[in-house]
């Protein structure tokens, strides 16, 4: 089983210098690629001078995470793609548990490892933690991370578990399945495109897994921090895109209406927190969603929708009203 580790880069020379050594040291048997999104720094010369064995794919423009990978992976031949952020430090023997899981679970199409915080190594990291889920209204969360509440890693998620979505920070996906799904939706540009990809995969019968016996350390926020209004805009808008594309029509309309109300409350909350730019980002997200609704509607897979897609009814209610901060304390339904 051939694995290609593909790192997407945009002006990330500093990150490549810091994190590539671990990838090169601990990825025995894998082919290493760097897909460059038209960087204007010295990333390419750094790679050529210091890592001549790395295969470099130079995209013609910065099309974001989605288009960047879609373009690059047209040039990569492998059974399994590992899409790896440039700010990730991998660990010894991180690949064997993933390979074993693909062999032992024939219907596993997408897998993610345990994602730990590079700065606080005994805590889970925001982007993916111990596997992604969504609630009934389409809000994403993770085992090990609910909104900004991060759990300490005490081995509670050292398991192999079917999940709803795998993080784009480190996603393993069978290459034939990636291409059969036509890759990521490029209208997302960045953020939650992996949720949509996994949702589309699950709608046609594929499964997504978390393998807690493999772990990596993620810096996070190297492109957009969690507190950047642009990230707020993309997360809110792209979540609405996914709901429109991946749910039965009647259910999608009901949830979009409820999200209009709840996202409005979130905007008001940002105002009281003296973060007006985030409130404005939510307004812009909804305006962009309505503008692009017809485009998203045309992308719907009309015949294939999974009936049970959510892990809990409302992660917002559970966290902000009942103060639930751990996955194990959620009411599952």
Decide the pairing of beta strands 207-218 and 108-117. parallel
CB-based contacts of 299, cutoff 8 Å, min separation 6: 185, 245
Assess if residue 219 is contained within a domain. no
Instruction: Give the confidence band of 139 by pLDDT, cuts at 50, 70, 90.
Output: very high
In a domain, 299, yes or no: yes
pLDDT 10s digits, 245-273 = 999 999 999 999 999 999 999 999 999 99
Cα angle value 241/246/249 (rounded, 5°): 95
CB 79 within 8 A of CB 1: yes
Query: Would you say residue 75 lies in a domain?
Result: yes
Q: Which domain holds residue 65?
A: 1-86
- Cβ neighbour number for residue 167 with a 10 Å cutoff: 26
Last residue of a domain, one of 33, 63, 86: 86
In the listed set 86, 101, 126, which residue is the last one of a domain according to the structure? 86
Average pLDDT over residues 203-215: 97
Q: How confident is the model at residue 331 (pLDDT cuts 50, 70, 90)?
A: confident
Question: How far does Cα 185 stand from its chain's mean position?
Answer: 13
Q: Say if residue 300's pLDDT is above 80.
A: yes
Is position 33 within any domain?
yes
**Residue at 325 is within a domain:** no
Q: Is residue 190 in some structural domain?
A: no
Count of structural domains, the chain: 2
Q: Please, where are the H alpha helices in the chain?
A: 13-26, 43-50, 64-72, 96-104, 175-180, 193-203, 229-246, 249-272, 276-291, 293-298, 315-320
The CA-to-CA distance between both ends of the chain, in Å, stands at 37
- Residue that is last in its domain, among 61, 86, 111: 86
> Is residue 50 a part of any domain in this protein?
yes
Residue 90 has pLDDT above 90, yes or no: yes
Q: What percent of the chain has pLDDT over 70?
A: 98
Q: Any idea what the Cα angle at residue 216 is, between residues 161 and 235, rounded to 5°?
A: 75
Beta bridge partners of 56: 34
CATH number at 64 reads: 3.90.550.10
- Give tens-digit pLDDT for 148-202: 999 999 999 999 999 999 999 999 999 999 999 999 999 999 899 999 999 999 9
């Amino acid at each position: 089983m051939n694995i290609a580790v593909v790192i997407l880069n945009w002006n990330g020379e500093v990150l490549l210098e810091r994190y590539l050594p671990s990838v090169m040291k601990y990825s025995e048997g894998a082919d290493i690629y760097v897909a460059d999104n038209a960087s204007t720094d010295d990333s390419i010369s750094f790679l050529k001078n210091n890592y001549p064995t790395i295969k470099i794919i130079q995209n013609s423009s910065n099309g974001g995470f989605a288009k960047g990978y879609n373009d690059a992976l047209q040039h990569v031949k492998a059974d399994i793609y590992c899409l790896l952020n440039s700010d990730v430090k991998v660990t010894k023997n991180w690949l064997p548990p993933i390979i074993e899981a693909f062999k032992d679970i024939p219907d596993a199409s997408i897998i993610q490892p345990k994602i730990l915080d590079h700065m606080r190594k005994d805590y889970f990291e925001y982007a993916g933690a111990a596997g992604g889920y969504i609630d009934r209204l389409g809000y994403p969360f993770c085992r090990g991370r609910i909104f900004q509440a991060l759990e300490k890693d005490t081995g509670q998620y050292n398991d192999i578990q079917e999940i709803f979505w795998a993080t784009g920070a480190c996603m393993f996906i069978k290459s034939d399945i990636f291409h059969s799904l036509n890759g990521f939706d490029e209208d997302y540009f960045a953020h939650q495109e992996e949720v949509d990809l996994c949702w589309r995969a699950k709608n046609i019968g594929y499964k997504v897994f978390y393998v807690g016996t493999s772990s990596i350390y993620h810096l996070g926020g190297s492109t957009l921090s969690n507190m950047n209004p642009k990230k707020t805009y993309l997360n809110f808008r792209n979540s609405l895109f996914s709901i429109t594309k991946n749910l039965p029509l009647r259910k999608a309309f009901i949830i979009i209406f409820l999200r209009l109300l709840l996202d409005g409350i979130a905007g008001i909350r940002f105002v009281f927190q003296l973060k007006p730019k985030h409130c404005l980002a939510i307004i812009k997200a909804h305006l962009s969603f309505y503008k692009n609704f017809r485009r998203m509607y045309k992308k719907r897979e009309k015949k294939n929708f999974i009936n049970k897609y959510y892990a809990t009814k409302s992660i917002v209610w559970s966290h902000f009203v009942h103060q639930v901060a751990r996955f194990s304390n959620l009411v599952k339904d």
